[in-house]
Chains A and B, each alone.
Chain A
Amino acid sequence: MKTNSRIEKIWESGGFIVTSECGPPRGADGDVIRRKGELLKGVVDGVNVTDNQTSVVRMSSLSACVILKGMGLEPILQMVCRDRNRIALQSDILGAAALGINNILCLSGDHQKFGDHPQGKNVFDIDSVQLIQTVCRMRDEGRFLGGEEVKGKPLLFVGAAENPFADPFEIRAMRLGKKVKAGCQFIQTQCIYNVEKFSRWMGMVCDRGLHEKCAILAGVTPMKSVGMARYMKNNVPGMDVPDDMIERMKGTPKEKQAEEGIKICVETIERLKEITGVRGIHIMAIEWEEKVAEIVKAAGLLPRPEV
């Protein structure tokens, strides 16, 4: 079923997709979203709005999506299974579609241990693969998980994330296969620093023909400093930062490291663009949205297509 998603339209027309991310604030100030939105306008085809990422309480993803939508951007609603059961998830899916959101990204969610409320109870009633199935069932069959009829199907373009660097490596393409089987239409990957390993994963993805059924958007995150590079390597589970990248950042004078991080990011995009099956780039500039335009431009990805 076709949706009004700009991402879907670019995918259908054979174009190269560029998405980015917008983390909502830890407060009720909608202007924070508006400011971030301004930085991304005309620069990317879609903007993910994170759902209480790293289990830290923030403005809800759906509210921030609506603000961005009002500015003419194309929001991608991130939805995690950690905080809501199947009743709440399906309710928010309906609400998102009613508010004109065209894209959803189905995620398990970080464990609450990492956040500001580690005392909380988690839900995980269903998992990310089952959430994909749920949205597709509501949209395509017009049925809720419980079997009742959905009156007014939610027309959402359905995506998910995959981490090619998490273990066990040998099943990572198979896991993507499960997501595609569940109905996933686009994938944004974990940040790629180890292009060689990503390329091996993409080979496995293409062997299974998954790249033809689902738009694979390769994820990148520019590094601001050698400290950030080290932190990512040592403290973020499932993150693969090669030593030579740390060395390169380390060998750069402190005041030039941010610039070098952007340069590495652009070079990485150039390499990723050449890999068979990659249909787009997902730029996660964490609290550094002002650099996205520069990265997209330097990577030769402007102007963005009109669809």
Chain B
Amino acid sequence: MIVGNRKEFREILEMLGSRRRVLVLGCNECVTVCGVGGEREVGVLASELRLYWKKEGQDFEVREHTVERQCDYEYIDQIRGFVGDYDAVLSMACGAGVQYVAETYKTKPVLPAVNTTFLGVTLEQGVWSERCQGCGSCILDMTAGICPIARCAKSLMNGPCGGSSGGKCEVGNDVDCAWQLIVDRLSESGQLDRYEEILPVKDWRSGRDGGPRKRVREDLKL
């Protein structure tokens, strides 16, 4: 899933500037699972805004609304009837959702309330960890199911570097060395000899280096 962090309240206030009629728009998908932009978090942010502006003695109108997904037009279209009543949409979706809402309502300011961070997994309640960078050409078959692109701080295809120590990465003791994990897994499955293969230079064109990506499936088009 896509994982994000909510922006600090101060930063959100600065983005809003003098706008006081705000639609706080949640998304029921990834950002709900990672506890940052679902119905509950929409309620929390809306309350924070109301309390703050009330204390400041200002006039305001904050509306809460959460759609199924902000990355699909049919759901974004559901706010068409009332979005015009607000000065700004404060989107709590990932960056894709924020942009799609903005594309849909061309003259409406759509502001991000969330910093989108990574594609990851839930390690335990309240803990998420990065697993994928969407490079567009998966090599997990060659790296024992552990991605060095996403999980090695240097994205080394032939690691580990000299900074791997006690299973941890040189960038921090809370970061696992991806290549230690790869070696351990190869070792446990009796495939350590595979480590000796030199992984070739990667073709990054399938990733963001090739420019913004678009996928078309003619067979699925209506």
Contact = CB atoms under 8 A, between A and B. Distances in A.
B157 A127 contact: yes
A130 B201 contact: yes
A108 B161 contact: yes
Contacts, number: 97
Contact of B162 (A82, A145, A166, A177): A166
Given A130-B201, A168-B184, A238-B170, A82 B154 contact: yes
28 contacts: A110-B163, A111-B154, A111-B163, A113-B171, A124-B154, A125-B204, A126-B157, A126-B202, A127-B154, A130-B158, A134-B201, A162-B162, A166-B160, A166-B165, A167-B160, A167-B166, A167-B167, A167-B177, A170-B183, A170-B187, A175-B160, A178-B196, A178-B198, A181-B196, A237-B162, A237-B170, A238-B163, A238-B165
Looking at chain B, what size class is its interface with the partner chain? 20 to 34
Interface string A150-177: 0000000000011100111011001101
B195 interface: yes
Contacts of B177: 167
Given A171-B183, A171-B195, A177-B196, A127 B156 contact: yes
Interface of B: 153-167, 170-171, 177, 180, 183-184, 187, 192, 195-196, 198, 200-202, 204
A181 B201 CA distance: 15
A110 B170 contact: yes
A4 to B, nearest CB: 28
A127 B158 contact: yes
Given A168-B184, A171-B192, A238-B163, A108 B198 contact: no
B171 A167 contact: no
B159 A127 contact: yes
B1 to A, nearest CB: 25
A129 interface: yes
A278 interface: no
Contacts of B187: 170
A114 B171 CA distance: 8
Interface string A77-89: 0000110001000
